[in-house]
């Protein structure tokens, strides 16, 4: 019997593989921008765009703009992660305070 839901992926398949197959936009691995806004040049050897393997293997060189864009993306990810961690910490404290007030 096949499953109708996505939590039973085949070996080696991840949710990212499914999202990519479905066309869900992922940030570029080189510049950190979404596919529609990617600033990476097309590789002259294989034609790929934003493939980190092309840089050492096909002698592409990252531009200052790509490096800055990737840093901004990573900084935003770190800020988002910090905000989420703070949210969950507040949530845990609220649950604890509620339990303390209600004898649980």
Mean pLDDT (whole number) for 73-77? 97
Mean pLDDT (whole number) for 53-57? 95
Given a cut of 50, whether residue 4 has pLDDT beyond it is yes
Q: Which pLDDT belongs to residue 32?
A: 96
Residue 82 lies in a domain: yes
Residue 10 lies in a domain: no
Q: Which pLDDT belongs to residue 23?
A: 58
Residue 4 lies in a domain: no
Residue 2 lies in a domain: no
Specify the pTM: 0.66
Residue 35 pLDDT class (50, 70, 90 cuts): confident
Number of separate domains in the chain = 1
DSSP output for 26-87? -B-TTT--BGGG--PPBPTTT--BS-TTHHHHS-----HHHHHHHHHHHHHHHHHHHHHHHH
Residue 39 lies in a domain: yes
Residue 80 lies in a domain: yes
């Amino acid at each position: 019997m096949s499953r109708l839901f996505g939590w039973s992926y085949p070996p080696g398949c991840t949710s990212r593989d499914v999202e990519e197959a479905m066309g869900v936009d992922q940030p570029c691995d080189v510049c950190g921008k979404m596919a529609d806004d990617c600033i990476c040049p097309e590789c002259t050897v294989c034609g790929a765009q934003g493939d980190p393997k092309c840089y050492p293997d096909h002698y592409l060189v990252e531009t200052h703009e790509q490096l800055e864009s990737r840093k901004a993306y990573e900084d935003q990810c770190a800020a988002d992660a910090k905000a989420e961690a703070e949210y969950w910490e507040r949530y845990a404290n609220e649950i604890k305070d509620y339990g303390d007030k209600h004898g649980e």
